Structure 1
Amino acid sequence: MTLPEWLAGSSEEAGFLRLVLDHVSDCLVAVDTEGTIVLINDPYCRLLGGEAEEFLGRHITDVVGPQTRLHFVARGIGTHIGYPLEVRGHKLVTKQVPVHKDGRIIGAVGLALFSDYDALKKTYGRISKAELAIPSKPKAWQSKFGLDDVIGTGPLMEAHRDALKLAAAYDLPVLICGETGTGKELAAQAIHSLSDRSTGPFVWVNCASIPSELIEAELFGYEGGAFTGARSQGKPGKFELATGGVLFLDEIGDMPLALQGSLLRVLQTGEIVRVGGTNPVGIDLRIICATNKPLVELVQTGRFREDLYHRLNVLPIEVPALRERGDLAHLAEHLLARIATRLSVPAPVLTAEDHDRLVAHTWPGNVRELENALTRMIVTGHISTASLDYRHRSPSVDAKSDLKSRMKSEAHAALRAALMQAGGNKQRAAEVLGISRAQLYRLLKEQSPA
């Protein structure tokens, strides 16, 4: 094992240090400020299945994987203690800290605090929850997805994942743009799960779904008795709930203009005032926004504040549309397997004709539309051209009756699939279909026998 100059002393000291590091039972690796491996001990080499010479001089992400944060730590971006890391199928709990010399950072060291994750869980199980102060209830407002859930192949999706990793490394506002159904919230959750705030809450608000007269109280909270119908004890808003984590503002383009100034002030001061309140409340959070609207055009027409736009558009991310990605077949196979597992049925095999139909479609609803189409395929046994081409078909008068019948059949199949997917929960089924619960009940009533 070769030691870099900044870790080596006299030859005798260097030899003793090499001996000590190789006898440390837990994995240890060090990188320079470029993320290049300059030291790695024998336990880590054994875990990786190679010799030190195979790994020295290579970038840490090439050896350990993109989930490591060590190369960021080596550039002075954060410190990670208790950071979970999976390497070659082994789950580690790591400590990643910078190395300082003469007041400057010259690299970073990663040490596996626990190289045996299963042993760690058993150890935790033997210690009382009171001693560890483990909360008995799971945390609310947690992100459910990470970078591994951003499925896709090809240069466009690789660039997208790289953009998410870069955004996660800096505690700055992010503006995610993309068409409906591309996976903007998935991107936001991936950023949160990779960031230093990953243990904090991930709180989301859909700015388009809350009435304009209620959105201020929803975001900022309110004091008791602030308005008619308010709780007597008051209620914290989403900003307070997201303290220590991320507030995801979906459909930011639909935020009322009058409220945009209040959001701008929060970004500038890090303080909020509840509705009906008099004292400012300090908050510490990160803002991630998403929109499918052209914010630049909204700025030009006076429907979105230009100063707020520049505050939010620090790290812009564009989620690629499905028709641009070039990985439709790969994604469809993955989604089919996932949907079939969720519905507890065998995954069907796409035929050449199925592939042709999928590729020929423009997918205005993107991944969400593709998932719905594949769900219908599992339920009905075929991919319906009528359902895929609903935006582009112009039926003649003679064909309208047949089209109506097919659409009714497709609607019935979609409803059954959504209810199966939601386990019979009508609210979740409505969310799967992208309709209101009232619309769902109306469709169910129409299909029930008289």
Structure 2
Amino acid sequence: MPFPEWFGSGQNEADFLRRVLDHVSDCLVAVDTAGRVVLINASYCRLLGGQAEDFIGRHVTEVVTHKTKLHLVAQGQAVGAVSPLEVRGHQLLARQVPVYQDDQIIGAVGVALFSDLESLKRAADVFAQDAAIIRNTQTPWTTSYRIGDIVGQGKIIEAVRTQIRQAASLNLPVVITGETGTGKELAANAIHELSPRAKRPFVWVNCASIPENLIDAELFGYEGGSFTGARSRGKPGKFELASGGTLFLDEIGDMPLHLQASLLRAVQNQEIVRVGGTSPVKVDVRVLCATNLPLEKMVRAGKFRADLYFRLNVLSVHMPSVREREDFDFLVDKLIERLHRRDGIPSRPLTPSMRERFRHFTWPGNVRQLEAALLRYLVSGDLSGLADEDNSPKTPDEPSLFSHSNMGLQEHLEQERKAFIARAIQATGGNKERAAEMLGISRATLYREIKR
């Protein structure tokens, strides 16, 4: 394309081209067929520690390094188009190509594609992360809940909402604690939804539901053919899929001890190594964890790494059990309203005596179990799940409740919990999936309770 008239002489054209090349951040040098430098941009001059006039006219091997092949390219010799080159202690990746005029080589130009090999590695990591995100655009990882989905009122629930908002504003790890069924996953969703990462992926994984020998591949991904059954092209793990966003590790207390060191490295250094891989991959992930297990006690017992616990437990959110809450009647009404609105379940009156019966039940499965019991009642009028004598209202003078003089509240609740689970399994004829549904807990949680 011809230059505009205002350029005037060829000298102005040359000045303009030099200014353009000086604005290119990559290093650029051009030589004639004798290997003498005829053009060098400001980026290369800064690297070499001089001005253009210090290098113009000198042989390129004197200016750059004796290992350069640019003068050979200018003579028509075939050398590698892209090759590593060390200049003044900097590792460059240089592209060297001949310059033609009327089918005759009149020189050569060399361009450093990256300022150093670390830049190339970082760029490759970014490309890999973007590719992983693109591969998952068909089924994007997004949140399912918002803070408005946390049903409740009063000081306890308002304190929870405050904790969630504070956690959302800080780009730090969070541990969400609480019994099963209290809404820990809901809290994790709400934190991501309110955070600056809200438009990036929200990826989740249940550490208790994945076989122990596969959880490292699930979290960190794997290279093709790294183990039997692996995809030939490999697969990104949850950390790569969550890069730029949030990774939610549910049931973190069930993560095998030998994998916790890899998780610590991933959280601390923001890099992972795929199973079968040979080099680390940089990620940008905020980690949220949830557990109904006492991690602090597990640390003291040597069942959970102390360094990982302290790294994860920077911020904490506690989801209260139904027994701790002060808004039981409000919670029941809102759950019934939600079931009616969401599932079209017809209303059914809940008498004061029924409410009392609900109120004095221990609800080991908490809100999840309460919602399941209300659904069952609204559909069929069935309250058989609350027929347990141990869970009916008691008065302080009943000897059955305090038959063991040395038993505290926690021990008593634990006994009730075990008995309730055993009855659910018996009532379903040993069908654990149905028993978990009846209890309002996940199947993974039920298996863990059975193991305990």
Q: TM-score range by the shorter chain?
A: 0.5 to 0.7
Are the aligned partners of 1:387 and 1:410 in contact in 2 as well (CA < 8 Å)? no
> Aligned equivalents of 1:392 and 1:231: distance in 2?
54
Instruction: Give the whole-Å Cα distance in 2 for the aligned partners of 1:169 and 1:316.
Output: 13
Aligned residues of 1:373 and 1:388 also touching (Cα < 8 A): no
Matches within 5 A, 1:12-161: 140-161=140-161
Instruction: Give 1:350 deviation, angstroms.
Output: 1.7
SS in structure 2 of the partner of residue 288 of structure 1: strand
Aligned equivalent of 1:182: 182
CA, structure 1 residues 280+300, in 2 after alignment: closer, same or farther (shift >3 Å)? same
Taking only the aligned residue pairs, the percentage that are identical comes to 52
* 2: CA distance, partners of 1:407 / 1:210: 24
8 Å contact from structure 1 (residues 357, 385) kept in 2: no
The CA deviation string for residues 355-414 of structure 1, in whole angstroms up to 9 with x for no partner, is 1111111211110110111011012214336456677899xxxxxxxx9xx9899869x9
Structure 1: distance between partners of 2:439 and 2:384: 22
Separation (CA, whole Å) in 2 of partners of 1:265 and 1:408: 40
Residues 407 and 174 (structure 1), Cα distance of their counterparts in 2 relative to 1, 3 Å cut: closer
Alignment CA distance shift 1:327-1:368 (3 Å): same
SS of structure 2 residue aligned to 1:235: coil
Post-superposition CA distance 1:207-243 (Å, at most 9, x none): 1111111100010000001011110010000000111
Partner of 1:68: none
Residues 339, 143 of structure 1: CA spacing in aligned structure 2 closer, same or farther, 3 A cutoff?
Answer: same
**Per-residue deviation, 1:274:** 0.4
Equivalents in 2 of 1:382, 1:431: separation in Å?
Answer: 15
**Distance of 1:348 and 1:295 partners within structure 2:** 42
- Give the partner amino acid of 1:151: V
The answer (yes or no) to whether the contact 1:220–1:240 under 8 Å persists in 2 is: yes
Larger Rg: 2
**Per-residue deviation, 1:139:** 5.2
- Which residue number corresponds to residue 361 of structure 1? 361
Q: How many residues align?
A: 283
Answering whether residue 255 of structure 2 is matched by residue 247 of structure 1, we say no
Superposition RMSD on alpha carbons, in Å?
3.3
Q: Structure 1 counterpart of 2:281, which letter? A: V
1:280 offset after TM fit, Å?
1.1
Deviates further, 143-152 or 333-342: 333-342
- Structure 1 CA distance, aligned partners of 2:137 and 2:438? 28
Other-structure match for 1:191: 191
CA displacement 1:177-200 (0-9 Å, x = unmatched): 111111101010010100001111
In 2, Cα distance between equivalents of 1:240 and 1:302: 30
- For residues 26-76 of structure 1, give each alpha carbon's deviation from its aligned partner in whole angstroms, at most 9, with x where no partner exists: xxxxxxxxxxxxxxxxxxxxxxxxxxxxxxxxxxxxxxxxxxxxxxxxxxx
Q: Which amino acid in structure 2 is aligned with residue 203 of structure 1?
A: V
- Alpha carbons 2:206, 2:250 under 8 Å: kept: yes
Match of 2:267 in 1: 267
Letter in 2 for 1:157: I
Q: Provide Cα deviations, 1:67-102, integer angstroms capped at 9, x if missing partner.
A: xxxxxxxxxxxxxxxxxxxxxxxxxxxxxxxxxxxx
Name the SS for the 1:210 alignment partner: coil
Q: Distance in 1 between matches of 2:190 and 2:239?
A: 20
Deviation by residue 1:315-344 (Cα, 9 ceiling, x = unmatched): 011111111111111111111122233432
After superposition, the Cα gap between the structure-2 partners of 1:339 and 1:433, relative to the gap in structure 1 and judged at 3 Å, is farther
- Corresponding residue of 1:434: 442
Q: Secondary structure at the match of 2:213?
A: helix
Task: Spell out, residue by residue over 1:227-271, the C-alpha distance to the aligned partner (whole angstroms, 9 max, x if none).
Answer: 111100100000001111111011111111100001111112111
Q: Tell me the distance in 2 between the aligned counterparts of 1:199 and 1:356.
A: 44
Report if aligned partners of 1:336, 1:348 keep a CA contact under 8 Å in 2.
Answer: no
Distance 1:430 1:277 in 2: 43
Does the CA contact (< 8 Å) of 2:369 and 2:440 recur in 1? no
What is the alpha-carbon distance in structure 2 between the residues aligned to residue 204 and residue 136 of structure 1?
14
Conserved? CA contact 1:339–1:375, under 8 Å: yes
**Structure 2: distance between partners of 1:206 and 1:408:** 23
Q: How does 1:156-167 map to 2 (within 5 A)?
A: 156-167=156-167
- Structure 1: where are the runs of 5+ without partners? 1-133, 395-402, 419-425, 440-450
Alignment correspondent of 1:324: 324
1:345 to partner: Cα distance = 2.9
Q: Deviations over 1:279-312 (max 9, x none)?
A: 2111001000011000111000111010110000
Amino acid aligned to 2:318: E
Over 3 Å counting, the alpha-carbon distance change for 1:308 and 1:431 in structure 2 is: same
Task: Give the SS at the match of 1:249.
Answer: strand
- Structure 1 equivalent of residue 285 of structure 2: 285
Distance 2:284 2:166 in 1: 21
Cα distance change, pair 173–297 in 1 and its aligned pair in 2 (3 A): same
**CA separation of 1:136/1:142 partners in 2, compared to 1, >3 Å: closer, same or farther?**
closer
Q: How far apart, in 1, do the equivalents of 2:175 and 2:442 lie?
A: 23
SS in 1 for 2:160: helix
* Structure 1 residue identity aligned to 2:234: G
SS state of the match for residue 303, structure 1?
coil
Contact residue 177 and residue 292 of structure 1 kept, 8 A: yes
Compute the TM-score of the two structures, normalised by the length of structure 1: 0.57
- Which amino acid in the other structure matches residue 434 of structure 1? S
